[in-house]
Amino acid sequence: MENGFENPIYITRPLLPDLHKINERLGKIWETGILTNMGGQHRELEGKLCEYLGCENITLFNNGTIALMAGLKSLDIKGEVITSPFTFPATIQALEWNGLKPVFCDIDPVSMTIDAEKIEGLINENTSAILGVHVFDNICDVKRIDGISKKYNLKVVYDAAHSFGSIHNGVPIWEYGDLSMFSFHATKLFNTIEGGCIISKNSDITDRLDMMKSFGRNSDVRVVDWGINGKLNEVQAAMGIEVLKLVGLEKEKRIKVSETYNSMLSDVEGIRIVTNADMNKSCQYLVIEIDEDRFGKSRDMVNETLNSGNVFPRKYFHPLCSDAEWYRMDYSKNELNHARVAAESVLALPFYGSLSSEDVEKICRIILNC
Ligand SMILES: Cc1ncc(COP(=O)(O)O)c(C=O)c1O
């Protein structure tokens, strides 16, 4: 089938460890009878992740959304938070569950992250924080955001769901802002099936989050703080320990896959590759932007043609969060022109280490001939 694939090609394939290794770990969990509540697997994963990410403090969670909700709560922020509409709904939902009002700021058209130049114009006496999203692992303008936060005394939180293990300006990405959230969802480079974490340089925040994720109880099991059940269980942790061993090699393979995409698409009029893959990046997505006027076909046409060839990319992030029925009435008053264009023109293509270069070339040919 020159115009398609016999078996479906999805946007990603999760990293799956050797089943025997998982079984061995399950055997240990069964022996101890400890299935959750920060047991041996959980502690081992915490240690391995601190080593991998170069941090001293980490709080693991049952998913990235709960992690972000708790992270925001741990900073005691109130009122309005300036954020990007070009993100996954979870970013905005974490604010809403905290009773915080999202104030949408337009994005930079190249990086597709929050446009730092436009942040100051949205600050008022109710603003308490900036929530940036390192979308597709394109890093926010962290230096400028840092300057703004100091000038106006604002907290800075990063939704780094796409940026596991990224190094920016020679330092780990979690070093920026008050805290960062990484997602360990099955679609992410590193996964615990579902899971996530918060990393902060401030160990008081980590200590507080450790309590908050376990019903706000201290070591005497007295409730002393805001609480939720945000615990990562032992089976998730066991999965994470084994998946982490595979991340380095997977990144190397994804870099090769991205080189093939680059060689086929980077010089095509009307197509821009929005992401780059190297060992300092998370290598999580391969995203293109299609300019309909110059390419001659819209993103939606390209998507439909790929779908009919049994290829299923994703229109990340469409529709724009600020256009969702739920938020439209209250929060969509600002100009969001670049975000709107991005939502209509971006396509995340299949991207995983076991995708062969022949298959990548075929996907690209379908795009080019559409
Ligand atoms: C930018 C962003 N933020 C937050 C999340 C939520 O993370 P989780 O699925 O781990 O709850 C996701 C996606 O999964 C995401 O893409």
- Of 11, 12, 63, 65, the residue with max ligand 1 atoms within 8 A of its CB, to mutate for a pocket test, comes to 65
CATH number of the domain encompassing residue 109: 3.40.640.10
Q: What is the DSSP letter of 115?
A: -
Are 230 and 253 found together in one domain?
Answer: no
Residue nearest to atom 8 of ligand 1 (CA): 64
Distance 63 CA to ligand 1 centre (A): 8
Domains: count for the chain: 2
In 127-233, alpha helices (H): 142-152, 203-212
The alpha carbon of 196 and the centre of ligand 1 are apart by a number of angstroms equal to 9
The reply to whether 214 and 266 lie within a common domain is no
Q: Residue 330: inside a domain, yes or no?
A: no
CA quadruple 110, 93, 304, 366: dihedral sign: positive
In a domain? residue 309: yes
Full residue range of the structural domain in which residue 264 is found: 9-13+248-313+350-368
Neighbours of 322 (CB within 10 A): 24
Atom number of ligand 1 nearest to Cα 183: 10
Residue 297: how many other CB atoms lie within 10 Å: 16
- pLDDT tens digits for the chain (370 residues)? 678 999 999 999 999 999 999 999 999 999 999 999 999 999 999 999 999 999 999 999 999 999 999 999 999 999 999 999 999 999 999 999 999 999 999 999 999 999 999 999 999 999 999 999 999 999 999 999 999 999 999 999 999 999 999 999 999 999 999 999 999 999 999 999 999 999 999 999 999 999 999 999 998 999 999 999 999 999 999 999 999 999 999 999 999 999 999 999 999 999 999 999 999 999 999 999 999 999 999 999 999 999 999 999 999 999 999 888 887 656 656 789 999 999 999 999 999 999 999 999 999 999 999 8
Q: Is the same domain home to 222 and 255?
A: no
Q: What is the pTM of this model?
A: 0.97
Residue 4 lies in a domain: no
DSSP-H helix ranges across the chain: 19-32, 40-53, 64-74, 89-97, 116-119, 142-152, 203-212, 234-244, 247-265, 292-295, 299-308, 325-331, 337-345, 357-368
Q: 227 and 255 share a domain?
A: no
